[in-house]
A = this chain, B = another copy of it.
Amino acid sequence: MRLKPVARKSLSDAVFEQLSQEIVHGRMRPGTPLPSERALCDVLRVNRGAVREALKRLSQAGLIAIQHGGGTRVLDFKQTASLDLLNRLLFHHDGTVDLRVARSVMEMRAAMAPDIARLAALRRSPGQVLQLDEMVAAMAAQEQDLLALQVLALQFWDLLTVCSENIAYQLAFNGLRHSYEGMREALVEVMSEELRDLAAYRRIADAVRRKDGEGAGQSAQALMQHGSRGILQLLAALESSTDDQAANGEEDDDDEQ
Please give the residue numbers on chain A whose beta carbons come within 8 Å of chain B beta carbons, in ascending order.
8, 10, 12, 49, 52-53, 56-57, 60-62, 68, 78-86, 89, 100-101, 103-105, 107-108, 110-112, 114-115, 119, 125-127, 129-130, 162, 165-172, 174-176, 209, 253-257
Contacts and interface: CB of A to CB of B under 8 A. Distances in A.
Nearest to A178: B82
Contacts of A175: 82-83, 171-172
A25 to B, nearest CB: 13
A155 to B, nearest CB: 12
Contact of A80 (B85, B129, B174, B257): B174
A209 to B, nearest CB: 7
Nearest to A254: B126
A8 B167 contact: no
Number of this chain's copies in the complex: 2
A167 B86 contact: yes
Contact of A79 (B60, B85, B103, B174): B174
A257 B133 CA distance: 13
Contacts of A119: 107
A185 to B, nearest CB: 20
7 contacts: A57-B57, A60-B60, A83-B83, A104-B168, A107-B168, A110-B115, A130-B257
Could you say which of A107, A110, A115, A255 has the most chain B C-beta atoms within 10 Å of its C-beta?
A107
A60 B12 CA distance: 12
B78 A167 contact: yes
Given A60-B60, A81-B174, A82-B84, A108 B169 contact: yes
Contacts of A115: 107-108, 110-111
Contacts of A61: 60
A17 B169 CA distance: 24
Contacts of A257: 130
